[in-house]
Amino acid sequence: MKFEAGIIALAGAALALLSALYVYSKADRKRVLLTALRVAAYILIVFALLKPSLDRTITLKRRTAVAVVADLSKSMGLKKPEDKAALLKAAIKEKAVPLAGVFDVSWYAFSGTARKTSLEDLLTSPRLAGDSTDIAEAISSAGKGLEKDKPGAKKALVIISDGNSNGLLDPVAAAKQAGMPVYTLGVGPLMKGVDVAVRSIAAGELGFTGMRSTVAVNLSGANASGKTVRVALKADGIEIGNKEAVLQDDGLETVVKFEITPKETGLVRYRAEVKPLPGEEDISNNSADCEVRVLKDKVRILYLSGHPNYEYRFLRQVLKTNPNYEMVSFIMLRGIKNLMPFPEDQLTLIPFPVTELFTRDLPQFDIVILESFPYSEYMTPDMLNGLARLVTERGGALLMIGGDQSFGIGGYAATPLADLLPVTLEGPLERYDTAPYKMVPELHPLNSLSYSRDGDALLWKSMAELSDINVAASSKPGAAVLGRHPFLKSKSGEFAPVLAAWQKGRGRVIACMTGSTWRWAMGTGQETSSGLYARYWQGLFNWLSGVPDVKQVKIAADKKSYLKNEPVRLSISVLDEHYRYENSASVALLVSDPNGRKAREVCALSGNGIYECSVSGDVSGKYSFEASVYKEGKELGKDSCTAEVTGSRSEETDLYLNETLLSEIAEKSGGEYLNAASGKALLLKLDPETEEIVSRTRKTLWDSPVLLLLSALILCGEWYIRRTNGML
Amino acid sequence: MRKTFQAIMLVLFSGLLFANNLAFARLKYDGGNWDTRVTAWGEIADFLVSISNVRAVREPLAISPESPELFNYPVVFMTGDAAFFEWKPAVIERLKKYFDAGGILIIDDSAGVKNSAFAGSVKRELAKIFPNEPLERINESNAIFLSFFLMPKVCGIRQAAPYLEGVERGGQLSVIFSENDMFGAWEKDKLGNWLKDCSPGGEAQRLEAQKLCVNVIMYAMVGTYKLDAIHTDYIRQKMNNLNMKIPGQAK
């Protein structure tokens, strides 16, 4: 029963009535009676206004639900150095079973997803054969199971495991998200002997021939602090270096760095191996691998600019800050028409070595940039032919940048370079317009500045206006136009191309019809766009130099290593011969497992130019995937990648208890960790029972007809007394 | 009248200004005197066009740091001869963005004396824009001393400081600061006579000031171009032949 203000008011009214009766017995009875009746009426009205009610609550006591989740993975069945199965049974019996007397305990077993089982099964015939120890998944699935079976009850999880989690997700994060405390009970021997492990080997995914880069090997040790180990680095099985390292304290990583200088292009597999320490039992973790795709060394660029200008300054900054580029540049600071009132020895100008460049040195360059360059003042027709051959026959690249000495207006229409360009030039009277405009980008991979089309649209919208354009007669058939003028039209009727690219013979050519892309770097003051500017040009230079991220066919796995039977998601991006997204190709995937067995899969289109396929590996080791892309019977290209399936390896080698992880899981979720070997009991800091309100009723006292009638009677009685006694 | 004329010229030449040519965009600020070298800019433009392939616009223009136009000009010039008002935080932020984007500010103290009130104001504001990158003496091996003329003497129409100062970021100077009234060396009257005398070096000093001025502008157009190996070998050889001291090398 619950009393509210109305009840207090009722008590007050009763008290007032009694007081009135007492006064009535002592004084002028009629007057006192009238006063009492009036007071009583007021009290009743006040009582009604306070809306008193009578509450009734029924509660139920509910036992706290606990899920005991036992690890039945393979590693729990290892017999050495101690019989973990026996330790597991003992832990369940001695530490978990007593909980059943206090809490409402459910029994679960896990390797991956936790499934419900019985105590009897866990104690008599546990199948310790799980391929993985996915503690994160176990926490999540057991938590959900408990929620379903015991709604409303307070809950907790008890994980009994060796803590050697090898699932995909972070168990600590899963514990944090469980919404209930996770207690952990550690089973298994602690590392007593020495151990050294190669935790990781890190190198850049790309390397370049002749260029030094670093491979970092991370080592960790157990009971091996201060011990010296020898680390060997192998490239495709051949030792290329070795170093000694002194191991730091347990839990701390020791980093050993090797400098590598790849000599040949291709995929190189590096392996770091540590010689086992005397008495080391587990040598399975003494090595680790990584792969580096080695490309040819620096891209050599020849940049010729017709006059000092900002386009040169900003592009120079992009090229000079990239260590993969080596640039030789010449700006025509002075022309033959310029006067010079100062002696030559006061100038730093050097003669332009055009003959050496275009006869002797040209084959050394991968990309030639001509930016508003007046070729007729310096170059002979033979030199131009040589440049054309560099592109079409030797696989070089040409980038022509706009300006008042470029393209048609620069006289290039009558040269062999006109044929190389992806736009048709007009003659010397070609229009060169200097009114500001915003380039309209076309949907093309080279225009990708972010990871999504919406992101690209926003970024392009933020780019500043350009301020000049050489208006070509048209773009050539087969050219990929990357951007156009918003309203200025070419003679062909199309919006004038601002940027166009294509493959010409063995080489690649970009026509940048403007010399004001530096404005993208300067931006508009709203957002600094220099990052976008550099990224965009980087992409164009990568394409010109044939760096693999703009290959026509490119395959990638979503991760580098997988657990057994875990889906390996492969995505294949496909561009047509003009480097536009290709959506109507057929993509075949050849899967080779570690035993050499081959299988074919077909990939389906999932997005613009992206085809996907999912396979799973049931054998440990390296899988190879080769994608072959065809369109109308013609091969567009091939690409391959590898992925490691390592599912069961750690289950067979994880001998020892990982107390660190189990403690962290418990700590972060509000639970506690206990080593099952300790003599302590597993105490859950939870109330065994919680009270739960199952029903609540409320009876209102103020809206009763009796109350209304009583009030009316009192007022009428008072009126009657006054009337009969002439007191009105 | 002059302002109206400038406005008309600005409209007429707006296409050219917006293109890629060098424009003398002068920073207009509150307080002090931002427009000290009125006739210099056309002279510099004419000189640059006559001796080099630089495309320069004769007509100068004024640009406020708060103007959206600021980012159209990767090089901005600032002159003055007196203290000026503190810049608002919004101006500081805007100039930070300008420099981050690759803009260069060339400052010349028209007072031509060491530690002038103008220099004090400049340093005060630069310290706000670059709290971690102080204004420092530009080393004589910097590309600025090789960008067109070979090691011009650091001077203006005065010789207040035998060095230039600058703020270097990412291997490039964002700010170049001269205390010698470098642009004063270009001022002429309507009859074509020099407006300011050079002291203490007379006309020889003027030529050096003009050479330095060309180098500074050329640097703003082509960056560190002259530090490329193909140039430095040649320049080193030339300096050896001329028996000049090569920066950074004991002679």
Q: What is the pLDDT of residues A275-329, one digit of tens each?
A: 988 888 778 788 888 878 777 667 899 999 999 999 999 999 999 887 778 899 9
A634 and A666: one domain? no
The alpha carbon of residue A421 is apart from the nearest alpha carbon of chain B, in Å, by 23
Question: Do A519 and A616 sit in the same domain of this protein?
Answer: no
Residue among B18, B51, B70 whose CB faces A436 most closely: B18
Determine contact: A321 vs chain B, CB below 8 A.
Answer: yes
Residues of B in contact with A338 (CB under 8 A): 50-53
In a domain, B161, yes or no: yes
Q: Is residue A269 domain-shared with residue A201, that is, in the same domain? A: yes
Taking CA–CA distances from A465, the nearest residue in chain B reads B72
Specify whether A425 is located in the same domain as A446.
yes
Q: Supply the DSSP symbol for A4.
A: -
B65 touches chain A (CB under 8 A): no
Q: Is residue B152 part of a domain?
A: yes
A153 in the same domain as A12 = no
CB contact at 8 A, A463 and A526: no
Q: What angle do CA A223, A226, A232 make, to 5 degrees?
A: 95
In a 10 Å sphere around its CB, with 0-12 CB exposed, 13-18 middle and 19+ buried, how is residue A502 labelled?
Answer: buried
Q: Which of chain B's residues have a Cβ under 8 Å away from the Cβ of A514?
A: none
Domain count for chain A, please give it. 5
B219 φ, ψ (degrees, to nearest 5): -60, -40
CATH label of the domain that carries residue A431: 3.40.50.880
- Contact B7/A at CB under 8 A: no
Q: Are residues A436 and A502 in the same domain?
A: yes
Residue A692 or residue B221, greater confidence: B221
Contact status of B146 with chain A (Cβ, < 8 Å): yes
CATH of the domain at B56: 3.40.50.12140
Question: Is residue A57 a part of any domain in this protein?
Answer: no
Residues of A in contact with B222 (CB under 8 A): 308, 312-313, 316, 331, 333
Residue A309 to residue B71, Cβ atoms within 8 A = no
Nearest beta carbon to residue B53 from set A308, A311, A313: A308
Contacts of A671 (CB under 8 A, 6+ apart): A156, A157, A175, A181, A182, A183, A184, A665, A684
Note whether A309 contacts B102, CB cutoff 8 Å. Answer: no
Report if residue B246 sits inside a domain.
no
- Nearest-angstrom CA–CA distance, A365 and A361: 7
Query: What pLDDT score does A606 carry?
Result: 79
* Token representation of residue B197: 């005398």
Nearest CA in chain A to B54: A308
Question: Which residue segment(s) compose the domain that A44 sits in?
Answer: 2-52+701-724
Q: Residues 477 to 536 of A: which have CB under 8 A from any B CB?
A: 515-516, 518-519, 521-525, 528-530
Contact A317 B231 (CB under 8 A): no
Number of domains in chain B: 1
Candidates B54, B71, B230; nearest CB to A307: B54
Residue whose C-alpha is closest to residue B172's, from A346, A33, A320: A320
Q: How far apart, in whole angstroms, are the C-alpha atoms of residue B62 and residue A637? A: 56
Q: Find chain B residues with C-beta within 8 A of A377's C-beta.
A: none
Which residue, A374, A426, A417, A372, is CA-closest to A398? Answer: A417
In this predicted structure, what is the pLDDT of residue B7?
A: 46
The answer as to whether B32 is a domain residue is yes
Q: Do B218 and A308 touch (CB under 8 A)?
A: yes
Residue A564, both tokens: 């057994």
Instruction: Return the SS3 of A113.
Output: coil
For residue A317, give Cα distances in angstroms to A41, A313, A425, A530, B131.
94, 6, 30, 10, 24
How far is the alpha carbon of A364 from chain B, nearest alpha carbon, in Å? 16
Min Cα–Cα distance to chain B from A338, Å: 5
Residues A550 and A539: beta-carbon distance below 8 Å: yes
Measured between alpha carbons, how far is A488 from A438 in angstroms, rounded to an integer? 11
Which residue in A307, A298, A490, A543 sits closest to A402, CA to CA? A307
Strands A104-110 and A115-117: antiparallel
Q: Which residues of B touch A342 (CB under 8 A)?
A: 51, 149, 207, 211
Q: How far is CA B80 from CA A505, B32, B162, B166, in A?
A: 58, 7, 19, 17
Do both A504 and A595 map to the same domain?
no
Rounded to whole angstroms, how far apart are CA atoms A158 and A676? Answer: 12
Burial of B60 (0-12, 13-18, 19+ CB in 10 A): buried
> Is residue A107 located within the same domain as residue A226?
no
- Interface contact B221-A468, CB threshold 8 A: no
**Residue B16: what pLDDT?**
46
Is B233 among the domain residues?
A: yes
B144: DSSP letter? G
Residue A57's pLDDT is 84
Q: A344 at the B interface (CB within 8 A)? A: no
β-sheet bridge partners, residue A622: A644
Sheet with A195-202, side-by-side order of all strands:
A195-202, A213-222, A254-260
SS (H, E, C) A325-372: EEEEEEECCCCCCCCCCCCHHHECCCCCCHHHHHHHHHHHCCEEEEEC
* Mode of pairing for the β-strands spanning A507-512 and A495-504: antiparallel
Mean pLDDT of all residues in B75-95? 96
Residue B68 to residue A525, Cβ atoms within 8 A: yes
Q: Between helices B40-51 and B202-222, what is the axis angle to 10°?
A: 70
Give contacts of B242 with chain A, Cβ < 8 Å.
345
- Average pLDDT in the B175-191 region? 96
Whole-number Cα distances in Å, A123 to A44, A138, A184: 71, 19, 19
Asked if the structure places residue A696 within a domain, the reply is no
* Euclidean distance between CA atoms A350 and A333, whole angstroms: 10
A487 lies in the same domain as A370: yes
CA–CA min distance B68, chain A (Å) = 7
The pLDDT of residue A1: 40
Residue A173 neighbours by CB under 8 Å, 6+ apart: A136
Number of C-alpha atoms within 13 angstroms, CB side, residue B110? 20
Residues in CB range of B24: below 8 A, 6 or more apart: B41, B44, B45, B56, B57, B59, B60, B61, B77
DSSP string of A16-76?
Answer: HHHHHHHHHHHS-HHHHHHHHHHHHHHHHHHHHHT--EEEEEEEEEEEPEEEEEEE-BGGG
Residue B221's domain comprises 2-241
Looking at the structure, do residues A70 and A179 belong to the same domain, yes or no?
yes
The verdict on A468 touching B (C-beta cutoff 8 Å) is yes
Q: In chain B, what residues touch A341 (CB-CB under 8 Å)?
A: 51
Residue B126, pLDDT score: 97
> Tens digit of pLDDT for each residue in B49-66?
999 999 999 999 999 999
- Chain centroid to CA B179: how far? 11
What is the domain-level CATH number for residue A623?
2.60.40.1930
Q: What mean pLDDT, rounded, does chain B reach?
A: 89
Distance between B194 CA and the closest CA of chain A, angstroms: 17
Q: Cα(B91)–Cα(B67) distance, rounded to whole angstroms?
A: 10
Instruction: State the pLDDT at residue B250.
Output: 42
Show the CA angle centred on residue A601, arms to residues A598 and A607, nearest 5°. 145
- Within this chain, do residues A682 and A708 fall inside the same structural domain, yes or no? no
| Residue A341 in contact with partner chain B when CB distance is under 8 A | yes
Give every residue of chain A whose pLDDT is below 70, as ranges: 1-10, 12-13, 16-17, 19-21, 23-27, 168, 205-206, 251, 265, 296-297, 451-453, 527-530, 547-550, 559-561, 578-580, 646-655, 728
Q: Which residues does chain A have within 8 Å of residue B70's beta carbon, measured at their own beta carbons?
A: 525
CB of B243 within 8 Å of any CB in chain A?
no
Q: How is residue B87 annotated by DSSP? A: P
Instruction: Let me know whether A364 and A498 are in one domain.
Output: yes
